[in-house]
Amino acid sequence: MWRLEPRPRPSRAMVLAAPAIALAATVVAGAALFAALGKDPLRGLQLFLVEPLKDAAALSELAVKATPLVLIALGLSLCFRANVWNIGAEGQFILGAIFGGGVAMTAGADSSRAIVLAILAAGAAGGALWAALTALARDRFNANEILVSLMLVYVADMLLSYLVYGPWKDPQGFNFPQTVVFAEPTQVPRLAAGYRANVGVLIAAAAVAAFWVLTFRLHAGHRLRVAGLAPAAARYAGFSSRAVIWGTLTLSGSMAGLAGALEAAGPLGQLTPHVPAGYGFAAIIVAFVGRLHPIGVVFAAVLMSMFYIGGELAQSRLGLPKALTGVFQGLLLFALLACDTLIDFRVRRARARLAAGGRAGT
């Protein structure tokens, strides 16, 4: 007989080991899933864990997927540290793409390359504005930010559909729901010719450094951590809960909006109904797998990007549904939640005499 026994204090070793154990459990479960589907487990795991890293082209695609995940997860980590639950980053991502795309469509072939900065700024503003609606509902009406931010995702999706099916629809697009292809000056510069990775990678790296400083070296980050760990102590110290709500939500929204603008003016080059790629929801997993730490978020985003690419390869090479990506993401999240139990509890074998005593009593 086994039981969970509370630890006298949380295990620092398990805080570090839990993600690795969760990944191992995900790999084992994934292999079993491939076998159940009649596919070679080793071949399936190779598509998820080896192919995304095999050469420069694969690493470039990995960077394209990881960049929005890093940006969004950084903002979400800040929210979650402060116990502000922004679940609507996908909607903020969409609004960033809409705002950035709106600016991009005003450009022509002779526009200055500086318009890229305006596109990114507009995207960040759009995401912040959308998140501000959640902050307003929480602050003014004490609404639940989880429900409000989540419902706004569907509103953002409907707004995007209205635009690409209606006023922004390309008149020369053979009736497809899409905008015109953005002019060449609006394209986010690439890091190297022949590869899709762009300067968004550098922006994400700078954001990681900035969020690390904000979280661990500035007084504002200290206020957020205190607000999340001990709300009563934060109120006693005079920290404004309203400032925490507005600050974390708008900053998180701006990061998601920036990611949306980078996606629209980068790999996509136009707006379509397929702009929502699930990055806003996947970034929630990235934030928690990365332990809400800016450096941890980078590793978690790379891992999640491998799952995205692996799912696409499994679809094209093994004939499996692309939904396998979501299955692997869900497996990782549930495995991590299970392993996190071992931070505060340890597994102990029940003593034999207690079991014997229980049988004697019956």
Residues in Cβ contact with 135 at an 8 Å cutoff, skipping those fewer than 6 apart: 145, 245, 246, 249, 250
Confidence of residue 1 (pLDDT cuts 50, 70, 90): confident
Confidence of residue 63 (pLDDT cuts 50, 70, 90): very high
Check whether 44 has a pLDDT greater than 60: yes
Confidence of residue 238 (pLDDT cuts 50, 70, 90): confident
Confidence of residue 154 (pLDDT cuts 50, 70, 90): very high
Look at 30-34, 68-72, 232-236, 345-349 and tell me which has the smallest mean pLDDT.
232-236
Pick from 276, 275, 331, 322: which is nearest to 303 by CA? Answer: 331
Q: Is 7 left (phi over 0), alpha (psi -120 to 50) or beta?
A: beta
Q: Could you give the C-alpha distances from 226 to 9, 124, 178, 216, 229, in angstroms and in order?
A: 20, 27, 46, 12, 5
Confidence of residue 228 (pLDDT cuts 50, 70, 90): confident
Q: What is the model's pLDDT at position 221? A: 85
The answer to whether position 43 is within a domain reads no
Check whether 358 has a pLDDT greater than 80: no
The answer to whether position 86 is within a domain reads yes
Q: What is the model's pLDDT at position 359? A: 55
The answer to whether position 128 is within a domain reads yes
DSSP character at residue 327? H
For the packed helices 324-344 and 12-36, what is the interaxial angle rounded to 10 degrees? Answer: 150
Which residues, listed in sequence order, are joined to residue 190 by a DSSP beta bridge? 198
The answer to whether position 331 is within a domain reads no
Euclidean distance between CA atoms 120 and 122, whole angstroms = 5
Q: Which amino acid is at 235?
A: R
How confident is the model over 128-139, as a mean pLDDT?
A: 97
The answer to whether position 111 is within a domain reads yes
Pick from 131, 122, 121: which is nearest to 102 by CA? Answer: 122
Pick from 330, 333, 326: which is nearest to 312 by CA? Answer: 326
Look at 100-114, 196-210, 302-316, 338-352 and tell me which has the smallest mean pLDDT.
338-352
Euclidean distance between CA atoms 292 and 311, whole angstroms = 25
Check whether 355 has a pLDDT greater than 60: no
Residues in Cβ contact with 359 at an 8 Å cutoff, skipping those fewer than 6 apart: none
State the residue range of the domain holding 152: 63-291
Q: Which long-range contacts (CB under 8 A, 24 or more apart) does 313-319 make?
A: 313/47, 313/48, 313/51, 314/44, 314/47, 314/48, 317/47, 318/39, 318/43, 318/44, 318/47
Total number of domains constituting the chain: 1
pLDDT tens digit sequence for 308-338: 999 999 999 999 998 899 999 999 999 999 9
Do 342 and 18 meet the contact criterion of CB atoms below 8 Å apart?
yes
Confidence of residue 240 (pLDDT cuts 50, 70, 90): confident
Tell me how many helices (H) and strands (E) the chain has: 14, 2
The answer to whether position 37 is within a domain reads no
The answer to whether position 141 is within a domain reads yes
Looking at the chain, the whole-number percentage of residues with pLDDT higher than 70 is: 97
Confidence of residue 257 (pLDDT cuts 50, 70, 90): very high
How confident is the model over 246-272, as a mean pLDDT?
A: 97
Confidence of residue 360 (pLDDT cuts 50, 70, 90): low
> CA angle 168-279-211, nearest 5°?
110
Check whether 287 has a pLDDT greater than 90: yes
Q: What is the model's pLDDT at position 352? A: 55
The answer to whether position 17 is within a domain reads no
Euclidean distance between CA atoms 201 and 300, whole angstroms = 15
